[in-house]
């Protein structure tokens, strides 16, 4: 009977697909040496020297580490395995999965009576949870190594800053040079006018719209809009101060220079946006490919974009770097000289449910990351992050992180992070989307920002 | 069953299932209702009784009410389209057509794709496939991504929900048609005007229990829409497609007003319960017993 | 299986028309799934740049994604976990819900009405609203999270209402009480009557519910992610976590992982389809 035959065929097909999938055979040109996706290089770690003093009484202790930085999940598992090999402490790395926000996961874990010993959180989450849940880390030795990157809650340190992240306008040097037919020196640009001139020349040279602008609310609401707080004077205190003023209604946003300057700059980015025709239809993954391929030369983003660029075919030897988010035409303004770079993820230790022994083991793990030769390497190489610790001699491998690293060490980065309520990026990100799409004007956007802060 | 052994029957037949249901669903729900009356933020160890303060905050949350209005609009579209489509397809698929098993397996596939993959595939369809159709044909309708325009993004949400829910409802309608006897099925396979009359007078009443179930399921699922909303539009463009359930979740966990979010969830529940209760009452009356 | 193959030209034309409509809708329905299959064989760059391109013109078509998904997911272990949880929950909910529904249909008293109304209403409770209370009670107070049994129990509880609702509709409309009365006269107990006579007649609805419930359990993400944290216990959907990044995801591997997850369900569906048809034949003896 026909229907039986059909069902047999579909069953057979499914099984065939299953079995080929399981046997894992490969055909086609998967191993083509030109394939840009081939062989993501594994950084090797030198484990021959290890002078770290392990506390043998902690052997056999089990601790958990909640990871909210999904892209380093596999790397962290490796770090945990190496640490266990050396210290005898088992570190279980728990992921935050698709659809969960870090905070939601923390809420559910605390409610289930099974919170992680250590958790990697955003600064706002640490501030929300620290006083009630976290162990005081103010007495730890690594405090001295992370000078300037610590987050204090009521005068105490509750978290270890895990990495420095920076953002700005990413350029692809090779593409700019090929398009303009002349050498490109990023340091030659120090005002918004000069930046606009660069865009104009790129456009004249045939690259009509040389810049990618993400439509995502986290990019617009957090990474872009927060410049108006962070460039107040380039410090976290300044950002806090200006936010207090906006909240209290003491600062007239319409007359606030940094907001107007930010929008002037944003308008220029908007104009040269590769998807200016339909800015809200832009695709994040495509931006990386466009930049790597040379369809565009610039992309507003941060050093976390490297894995995307690498997947799109960029090599670590390629010349990528950051331009500042130019705000005005004053070449002496720090905002036109420096890029923003500040600690972004914090490791908090649970002080409520974790046993003494677990806390001690967790502290040992943190010390190991900061002080041991292996831990230092693994942080910089395996996880490919920029550690904020002065004693860590290892430079990051990819060009974006290396640029941030160098700028931080040359004093060409300003360390300001605005602490805003957790829904800031979502709510004002939507307002920014509306402005990006040309469906609202400056006045409406300014009013939305004021209205948001009035409610806080 | 005879009524004298009612207690024993209850223990054997009803109690085990009832226990699971109460323990897993009702008890946490009641605890959740209690939480709406406190100022608990989700993590702190203190809970203070605050009465109806959270509900007062809900009243002031204009975003919630506008998301609720949008949800109503969405529910109407989805419920009507899904049920007409699924009923029609299920009918075609139970008429003894050649290869109907193959078709049924195909209509089942929307059930298999969820979460981020669902969002990604459909985003791709609306932002890229549609735009390339627009470029090829010059139709202004496909000029820009559907997801960057509030009206079209809403239409996209309805479309994807129809796709996803129909797959499920087809299954139930197919089971309903299969439960009908041979003579009724034969009547169903007659075409033309006579067929339509028979469809209305003979088949529809017999299918009423399936219709009740499908209407109820589409109604409640459409009111609770969250996954599709989150993965397809995430409320974009600029928050215009944020439905009630998503707003509730954002309120509780992104804005971190746990009690207010919980109270909004309760209000959403009561509204949905009233509407679908009314629907079940109305359609149940039309069911015929065997 | 009797099918009506007789009829004139008009019927043939009608058949053709409905067949064409069906094909059009069918293609629209299948499209996303086909996209998943095609793109699971490609590298991320090709997925983004040319998701449509036909398989064999693309450089780098391979089963690499499947190999990667298979190893990173710890597939066999996760598969066994999913299998245990899904099979136990499905069997449990099928038996318990059909019995409960049968009780409600045959005992039309206040208690039944209240139970039924409560269940119908409960289906509208948004899961997000009870998620935190649920973990507080089962984790914070009872401390029984992180066990398979707890997950099975919760799956059973959560799908109870809808299953009862579906069984209720079917029993109400399709199971004549006369059969049972005959059995009682022959001296059967209620339990014997139920499993000997009523339960086999439920085959079509059982097949449907097994598919729907098994699908829901197999693919569920949110509940297992709240209950299970121990790596050894993770189910298939949970084990794909490492393919997701904060800003972007590894689409090729995700799609390969998705296919690895859903193939067993597709197989179950194809197998059960036959059962649905057989069930109808058995049920048609009225």
- Residue A154 backbone zone (phi > 0: left; psi -120 to 50: alpha; other: beta): left
Better pLDDT: A264 or B112: A264
Q: Are A243 and A448 in contact (CB under 8 A)?
A: no
Q: Within the 200-229 window of chain C, which residues sit less than 8 Å (CB to CB) from chain A?
A: 221-222, 225-226, 229
CATH 3.30.530.20: does it fit domain A167-341+416-455? no
- Residues found in chain C: 286
A18 contacts C263 by C-beta, under 8 angstroms: yes
Which residue of A29, A100, A113 is in closest CB contact with C143?
A113
User: What ipTM score was computed for the predicted complex, to two decimals?
Assistant: 0.83
Interface of A with B (CB under 8 A): 2-3, 6-7, 10, 98-99, 101, 103-104, 106-107, 110-111, 128-129, 132-133, 215, 217, 277-281, 283, 421-423, 426-427, 430-431, 433-434, 437, 439
pLDDT at C149: 94
Which residues, including other chains, have CB under 8 Å from residue C37's CB and lie 6 or more apart? C255, C259
Mean pLDDT of chain A: 86
Chain A environment of C143 (Cβ under 8 Å): 113
Q: Which of C11, C120, C269 sits opposite B108 (nearest CB)?
A: C269
∠ CA C143-C149-C154, rounded to 5°: 80
Q: Provide the Cα torsion B255, B256, B260, B261; round to 10°.
A: 80
- Given a cut of 50, whether residue C138 has pLDDT beyond it is yes
In this prediction, residues A56-72 reach a mean pLDDT of 89
Whether B30 maps to a domain, the answer reads no
Residues of B in contact with A98 (CB under 8 A): 115-116
Phi and psi at residue A300, to the nearest 5°: -80, 115
Which residue from B43, B101, B250 is facing A6, i.e. has the nearest CB?
A: B101
Closest residue to A280, CB basis, from B44, B237, B250: B237
Chain B residues lying within 8 Å of A111, measured CB to CB: 42-43
- H or E stretch at A346: strand A339-349
Distance of residue C148 Cα from the nearest chain A Cα, in angstroms? 16
Does a structural domain hold residue B27?
no
pLDDT tens digits for C255-280?
888 888 888 888 887 787 766 555 44
- Is B65 a domain residue? yes
Domain ranges of chain A: 56-165+344-401, 167-341+416-455
| A371-390 burial: b if 16+ Cβ within 10 Å, else e | bbbbbbbbbbbbbbbbbbbe
Three-class DSSP labels, A120-184: EEEHHHHHHHHHHHECCCCCCHHHHHHCCCCCEECCEECEEEEEEEEEEEEEEHHHHHHHHCCCC
Alpha helices in A33-111 (DSSP H): 73-87, 102-111
Distance CA A232, CA A249 (A): 16
CA distance A25 to chain C (A): 6
Q: Which residue has the tokens 């009225």?
A: C286
Peptide bond into B23 cis (omega under 30): no
pLDDT at C23 over 50: yes
Q: Is residue B221 part of a domain?
A: yes
Provide the pLDDT for residue B122: 87
Q: Which long-range contacts (CB under 8 A, 24 or more apart) does A234-240 make?
A: A234/A334, A234/A335, A234/A338, A234/A414, A234/A416, A235/A414, A235/A415, A235/A416, A236/A342, A236/A415, A236/A416, A236/A417, A236/A418, A236/A419, A238/A416, A239/A416, A239/A417, A239/A418, A239/A419, A240/A418, A240/A419
Chains in touch with A (3+ beta-carbon pairs under 8 Å) read: B, C
Q: Which of residues 69-108 of C touch B (CB under 8 A)?
A: 96-97, 99-100, 102-104, 106-107
Q: Give DSSP secondary structure letters for A308-343.
A: HHHHTT--TTS-EEEE----SS-TTSHHHH-EEEEE
Instruction: Name chain C contacts of A114, Cβ cutoff 8 Å.
Output: 139, 145-146, 229
What is the DSSP pairing of strand A118-122 with strand A339-349?
Answer: antiparallel
CA dihedral for B182, B188, B191, B195, sign (positive or negative): positive
Average pLDDT over residues C155-160: 95
pLDDT attached to residue B283 = 86
DSSP state string for C183-239: HHHTT--HHHHIIIIIHHHTHHHHHHHHHHHHHHHHH--HHHHHH---GGG--TTGG
| Rounded distance between C-alpha atoms, residue B12 and residue C99, angstroms | 8
| Nearest chain A Cα distance for residue B256, angstroms | 8
pLDDT at C38: 84
Under 8 Å CB-to-CB from A23, ≥6 apart: which residues? none
Q: Give the model's pLDDT for residue A26.
A: 34
What would the pLDDT profile of A363-412 be if each residue is shown by its tens digit?
A: 999 999 999 999 999 999 888 899 999 999 998 889 999 999 999 989 99
Report yes or no: A58 and A364 within 8 Å, Cβ to Cβ. Answer: yes
Distance, first Cα to last Cα, chain A: 69
Place of tokens 């931080």: A408
pLDDT score for C3: 42
- Convert the pLDDT of each residue in A316-361 to its tens digit: 899 999 999 999 999 999 999 999 999 988 999 999 889 999 999 9
B23 within domain boundaries: no
Task: Name the minimum distance, in Å, from the CA of B275 to any CA of chain A.
Answer: 29
Concatenated DSSP letters of B67-101: HHHHHHHHHHHHHHHHHHHHHHHHHHTTS--TTHH
**Contact between A388 and A369 (Cβ < 8 Å):** no
Look at C132 and B265 and tell me if their CB atoms are within 8 Å: no
Q: Is A203 helix (H, G, I), strand (E, B) or coil?
A: helix
Residue B138 has pLDDT above 60, yes or no: yes
Residue A198: band (very low, low, confident or very high) from pLDDT cuts 50, 70, 90: very high
Angstroms from C101 CA to nearest CA on chain B: 8
DSSP state of B180: S
Q: Which of residues 99-138 of C touch A (CB under 8 A)?
A: 131-132, 135-136, 138
Strands A159-172 and A118-122: unpaired
Please name the helix (run of DSSP H) or strand (run of DSSP E) that holds residue C151, with its range, or none: helix C148-174
C-alpha separations of A337 from A234, A262, A272, A410, C96 in Å? 11, 15, 22, 12, 70
Using one digit for the tens of pLDDT, what is the confidence trace for B139-170?
888 888 888 889 999 999 999 999 989 988 98
Angle at B39 between CA B37 and CA B41, to 5 degrees: 125
- What pLDDT score does B3 carry? 47
Q: Are B86 and C22 in contact (CB under 8 A)?
A: no
CATH topology for A56-165+344-401? D-Maltodextrin-Binding Protein; domain 2 (3.40.190)
Q: How many domains does chain B have?
A: 1
CA distance A55 to A87: 7
Distance between CA A28 and CA A44 in Å, rounded?
30
CA distance B60 to B64: 9
Domain assignment present for B290:
no
Q: C150: pLDDT confidence band, cut at 50, 70 and 90? A: very high
| pLDDT confidence band for C10 (50 / 70 / 90) | low
Considering only the beta carbons, identify the residue of C63, C67, C247 that sits closest to A284. Answer: C247
In this complex, do B112 and C33 lie within 8 Å of one another by their Cβ atoms? yes
pLDDT at B1: 46
Which residue from C221, C229, C249 is facing A114, i.e. has the nearest CB? Answer: C229
**In whole angstroms, how far apart are CA C130 and each of A46, A430, C137?**
49, 28, 10
| Burial letters C180-190, b for 16+ CB under 10 A, else e | beebeeeebeb
Closest Cβ opposite residue A21 in set C72, C238, C260: C260
Query: Is the pLDDT confidence value at B226 over 90?
Result: no
Range of the domain at B110: 54-284
- CA distance to B24, B102, B213, C104, C202, per residue, from C100 (Å): 16, 34, 17, 6, 14
Burial A257-269 (b: 16+ CB within 10 A, else e): ebbbbbbbbbebb
Q: Residue B203 pLDDT > 50, yes or no? A: yes
Arithmetic mean of pLDDT, C155-179: 88
Beta carbons of A297 and A171 less than 8 angstroms apart: yes
Dihedral sign for Cα atoms in the order C193, C194, C198, C200: negative
- The confidence score (pLDDT) of residue A376 equals 93
CA-CA distances (angstroms) from residue C47 to A200, B197, C41? Answer: 32, 50, 9
Residue B46 in any domain: the answer is no
To the nearest whole Å, the CA of C126 is away from the closest chain A CA by: 16
Secondary structure class of B186 (helix, strand, coil): helix
Per-residue pLDDT at A74 exceeds 60:
yes
Burial of C178 per CB tally in 10 Å (0-12, 13-18, 19+): exposed
**Strand A152-153 relative to strand A159-172: parallel, antiparallel, unpaired?**
unpaired
Residue with tokens 């930049």: A291
Tell me the average pLDDT across A156-162.
93
Each residue's pLDDT tens digit, C223-243: 888 888 888 888 888 887 777
Q: Is B187's pLDDT higher than 70? A: no
Chain B residues closer than 8 Å to C286 by CB? 181, 290
Domains of chain C listed by start with CATH number: 63-283 (1.10.3720.10)
Checking if the pLDDT of A434 tops 50, the result is yes
Segment A201-212 mean pLDDT: 93
With 50 as the cut, is the pLDDT of residue B19 above it?
Answer: yes
User: Looking up tokens 């831990």, which residue turns up?
Assistant: A375
Looking at chain B from residue 77 to 136, which residues have their Cβ under 8 Å from any Cβ of chain C?
A: 85, 89, 92-93, 95-97, 101, 103-118, 120-122, 124-125, 128-129
pLDDT of residue A43: 63
Q: For all residues of chain C together, what is the average pLDDT?
A: 82
Percentage of chain C beyond pLDDT 70 is 86
Give pLDDT, residue A272. 95
CA distances to A175, A179, A291, B286 from A288, rounded to whole Å, are: 14, 18, 5, 58
Give the domain CATH number at B185. Answer: 1.10.3720.10
Q: A297-311, B7-21, B108-122: lowest mean pLDDT where?
A: B108-122
Alpha carbon of C187 to those of A394, C182, C183: distances in Å? 84, 9, 7
Dihedrals φ, ψ of B208, to 5°? -55, -35
Residues of chain A in contact with residue B128, where contact means CB-CB under 8 angstroms, are 283
**Per-residue model confidence (pLDDT) at position A257:** 93
> If contacts are CB pairs under 8 Å, which of residues 2-21 in chain C contact chain B?
2-5, 7, 10-11, 14-15, 18-19, 21
The whole-chain average pLDDT of chain B stands at: 84
| Three-point CA angle C117, C120, C125, nearest 5° | 120
């Amino acid at each position: 009977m026909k229907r039986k035959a059909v069902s047999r065929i579909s069953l057979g097909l499914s099984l065939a697909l299953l079995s080929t999938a399981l046997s894992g055979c490969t055909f086609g040109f998967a191993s083509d040496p030109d394939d840009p996706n081939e062989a993501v290089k594994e950084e090797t770690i030198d484990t021959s020297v290890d002078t770290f003093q392990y506390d043998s009484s902690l052997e056999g202790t089990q601790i958990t580490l909640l990871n909210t930085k999904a892209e380093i999940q596999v790397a962290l598992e490796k770090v945990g395995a190496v640490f266990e090999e050396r210290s005898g402490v088992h570190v279980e790395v728990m992921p935050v999965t698709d659809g969960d926000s870090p905070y939601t996961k923390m809420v559910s874990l605390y409610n289930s009576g099974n919170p992680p010993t250590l958790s990697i959180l955003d600064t706002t989450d640490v501030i929300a949870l620290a006083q009630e849940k976290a162990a005081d880390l103010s007495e730890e030795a690594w405090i001295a190594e992370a000078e300037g990157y610590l987050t204090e809650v009521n005068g105490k340190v509750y978290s270890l800053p895990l990495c420095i992240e920076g953002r700005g306008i990413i350029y692809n040097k090779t593409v700019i040079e090929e398009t303009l037919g002349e050498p490109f020196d990023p340091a030659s640009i120090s005002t918004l006018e000069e930046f606009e001139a660069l865009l104009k020349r790129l456009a004249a040279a045939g690259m009509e719209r040389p810049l990618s602008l993400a439509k995502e609310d986290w990019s617009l609401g957090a990474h872009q809009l927060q410049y108006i707080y962070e460039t107040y004077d380039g410090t976290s205190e300044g950002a806090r101060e200006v936010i207090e003023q906006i909240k209290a209604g003491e600062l007239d946003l319409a007359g606030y220079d940094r907001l107007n300057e930010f929008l002037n700059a944003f308008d220029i980015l908007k104009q040269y946006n590769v998807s200016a025709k339909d800015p809200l239809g832009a695709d994040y993954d495509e931006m990386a490919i466009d930049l790597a391929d040379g369809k565009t030369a610039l992309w507003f983003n941060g050093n976390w974009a490297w894995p995307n660029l690498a997947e799109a075919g960029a090599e670590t030897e390629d010349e990528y770097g950051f331009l500042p988010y130019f705000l005005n035409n004053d070449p002496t303004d720090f905002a036109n000289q420096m890029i923003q770079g500040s600690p972004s993820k914090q490791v908090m230790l649970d002080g409520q449910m974790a046993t003494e022994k677990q806390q001690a083991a967790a502290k040992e793990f943190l010390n190991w990351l900061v002080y041991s030769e292996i831990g230092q390497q693994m942080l910089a190489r395996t996880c490919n992050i920029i550690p904020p610790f002065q004693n860590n001699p290892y430079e990051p491998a990819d060009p974006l992180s290396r640029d941030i690293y160098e700028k931080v060490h040359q004093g060409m980065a300003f360390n300001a992070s605005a602490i805003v309520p957790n829904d800031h990026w979502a709510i004002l990100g939507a307002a920014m989307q509306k402005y990006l799409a040309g469906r609202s004007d400056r006045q409406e956007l300014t009013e939305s920002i004021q209205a948001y802060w009035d409610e806080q | 069953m005879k009524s004298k052994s009612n207690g024993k029957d209850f223990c054997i037949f009803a109690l085990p299932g009832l226990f699971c249901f109460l323990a897993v669903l009702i008890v946490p729900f009641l605890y959740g209702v209690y939480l709406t009356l406190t100022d608990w933020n989700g993590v702190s160890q203190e809970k203070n009784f605050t009465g109806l303060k959270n509900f007062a905050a809900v009243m002031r949350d204009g975003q919630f009410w506008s998301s609720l209005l949008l949800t109503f609009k969405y529910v109407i579209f989805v419920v009507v389209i899904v049920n007409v489509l699924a009923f029609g397809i299920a009918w075609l698929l139970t008429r003894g057509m050649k290869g109907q098993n193959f078709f049924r397996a195909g209509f089942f596939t929307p059930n298999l794709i969820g979460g981020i993959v669902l969002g990604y595939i459909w985003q791709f369809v609306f932002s890229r496939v549609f735009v390339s159709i627009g470029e090829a044909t010059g139709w202004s309708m496909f000029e820009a991504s559907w997801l960057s325009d509030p009206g079209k993004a809403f239409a996209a949400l309805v479309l994807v929900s129809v796709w996803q829910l129909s797959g499920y409802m087809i299954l139930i309608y197919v089971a309903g048609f299969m439960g009908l006897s041979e003579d009724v099925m034969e009547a169903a396979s007659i075409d033309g005007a006579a067929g339509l009359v028979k469809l209305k007078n003979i088949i529809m009443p017999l299918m009423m229990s399936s219709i009740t179930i499908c209407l109820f399921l589409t109604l409640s699922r459409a009111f609770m829409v969250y996954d599709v909303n989150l993965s397809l539009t995430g409320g974009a463009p600029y928050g215009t497609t944020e439905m009630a359930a998503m707003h509730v979740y954002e309120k509780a966990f992104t804005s971190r007003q746990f009690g207010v979010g919980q109270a909004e969830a309760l209000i959403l529940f009561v509204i949905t319960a009233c509407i679908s209760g009314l629907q079940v009452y109305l359609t149940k009356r039309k069911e015929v017993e065997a | 299986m009797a099918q009506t193959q007789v009829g004139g030209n008009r019927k043939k034309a009608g058949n053709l028309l409905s067949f064409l409509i069906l094909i059009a809708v069918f293609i629209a329905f299948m499209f996303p799934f086909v996209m998943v299959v095609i793109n699971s064989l490609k590298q991320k760059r090709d997925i983004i740049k040319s998701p449509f391109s036909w398989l064999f013109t693309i450089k780098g078509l391979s089963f690499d994604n499947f190999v990667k998904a298979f190893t990173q997911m710890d597939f066999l272990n996760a598969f066994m976990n999913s299998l245990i949880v899904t099979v136990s929950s499905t069997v449990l909910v099928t038996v318990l819900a059909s019995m409960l529904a049968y009780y409600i249909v045959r005992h039309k008293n206040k208690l039944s009405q209240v139970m039924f109304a409560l269940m119908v209403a409960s289906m509208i409770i948004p899961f997000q609203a009870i998620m935190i209370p649920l973990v507080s009670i089962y984790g914070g107070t009872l401390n029984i999270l992180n066990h398979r049994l707890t997950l099975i129990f919760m799956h059973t509880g959560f799908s109870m209402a809808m299953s009862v609702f579906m069984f209720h509709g079917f029993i109400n409309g399709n199971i004549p009480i006369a059969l049972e009365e005959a059995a009682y006269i022959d001296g059967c107990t209620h339990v014997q009557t139920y499993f000997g006579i009523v339960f086999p007649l439920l085959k079509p609805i059982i097949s449907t519910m097994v598919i729907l419930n098994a699908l829901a359990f197999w693919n569920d993400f949110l509940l297992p992610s709240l209950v299970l944290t121990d790596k050894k216990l993770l189910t298939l959907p949970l084990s794909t976590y490492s393919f997701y990044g904060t800003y972007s995801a590894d689409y090729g591997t995700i799609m390969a992982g998705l296919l690895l997850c859903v193939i067993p369900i597709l197989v179950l569906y194809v197998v059960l389809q036959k059962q649905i048809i057989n069930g109808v034949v058995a049920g048609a003896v009225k």
